Homo-oligomer: A and B are copies of this chain.
Amino acid sequence: VLLGIGDDAAAVRWAGSILLLTTDTLIEDVHFRRATASLVEIGAKALAVNLSDIAAMGGDPRFALLALAAPATLPVAQADQLVSGILEMAGAHRVGLIGGDTCASPDRIVVTITVAGSVDGEPLTRRGARPGDLVLVTGSLGASAAGLAALERGPLPLADHVVGSVLAAHRCPAPRVAEGRLIRASGAATAMIDLSDGLAVDLGHIAAESGVGAEVALAALPVGPPTRAVAEALGEDAGQFAARGGEDYELLFTVRPDAAADLARQVTAETGTPVTVVGRVTPAGRGVRFLDGAGAPVRLRAGFEHFA
């Protein structure tokens, strides 16, 4: 066993290779609601969050298992939609759905997916960040939190494509598999995690596991125009969505300072995904701090919570 409980995926040696294994459960009315997402989207997301865990190790997802518990009242056609969402996401990442288990659930849909992945070398963990490293993220932040807020507090006086953009980010995140593979293969990254619980919490995991602190410049966080528009319409601070919002499933990683710019350019060139430097790793002792434009620490509100 190379990595047990406590990283994004477990890693074990297997016949001279490394086997990555991860599992995640999504429960109706905790992680999703049938009223606000289609079963196709729910299935796709259930697999995506597991693919994201493999991506966070720099691995390649290969095979998936589905354990589906569904109420007897769920029409077969709807269960088929959920499976078709899984298969669509699996196909996009060349992952085989090879087995599973179905059983009756008294009331809620419970979807547990397990993914096995490979990695071409040592997996990238949460443990290797060193003071002086830069902190980077893929894509943009806060869109999923904006989508959740729009669902809960909408309708909003915004164009459909604006709201649709953040809803899509919330309902069906895109796991950053190709990006994670490039980041690990570069040899320049020192730690990585996927953003499931929000930047503040997940950077805290890297800091704790690596025995370091970190500083993030709030103004540096990449926030898309739809997220800004939704935040404004709700009277919220888009920076809070970006710093605290969960379920973006972007990759957060630390890189040797001399190699960060080149790696960011390479990932963007090969995948089309923006990569942004948002902060730096500091010695342990002051924890994870968010700084305003003047370099003064900012206090974030309480952390991201799932909605039930």
Contacts and interface: CB of A to CB of B under 8 A. Distances in A.
Contacts of A118: 14-15
Determine which residue in A9, A12, A98, A116 has the highest number of CB atoms from chain B within 10 A of its CB, and name it. Answer: A98
Interface in A59-83: 62-63, 65-67, 69
Q: Is the interface of A mostly helix, strand, loop or mixed?
A: strand
Interface stretch (A20-28, A150-158, A213-221): A20-28
Contacts of A29: 106
A108 B109 CA distance: 12
A101 interface: yes
A9 B110 contact: no
A60 to B, nearest CB: 12
A120 to B, nearest CB: 11
Contact of A116 (B17, B66, B116): B116
Given A21-B98, A21-B114, A14 B12 contact: no
A303 interface: no
A295 interface: no
A27 B101 contact: no
A283 interface: no
A112 interface: yes
Q: What copy number does this chain have within its complex?
A: 2
B22 A99 contact: yes
A16 interface: yes
A99 B1 CA distance: 11
The size class of the interface chain A forms with chain B is 35 or more
A118 to B, nearest CB: 8
A22 B66 CA distance: 9
A308 B106 contact: yes
Given A15-B17, A98-B1, A31 B103 contact: yes
A16 B118 CA distance: 13
Given A5-B98, A10-B98, A99-B4, A69 B25 contact: yes
Nearest to A68: B25
A99 B10 contact: yes
B5 A99 contact: yes
Contacts of A114: 21, 23, 65, 67, 114
Interface string A117-134: 010000000000000000
A10 B98 CA distance: 6
A69 B111 CA distance: 11
Contacts of A66: 23
A2 to B, nearest CB: 9
| Pairs A-B, 9 closest by C-beta atoms | A10-B99, A15-B17, A10-B98, A112-B112, A114-B114, A25-B67, A15-B15, A23-B65, A23-B67
Interface of A: 1, 3-5, 7, 9-10, 12, 14-17, 19, 21-25, 27, 29-31, 62-63, 65-67, 69, 96-101, 103-108, 110, 112, 114, 116, 118, 306, 308
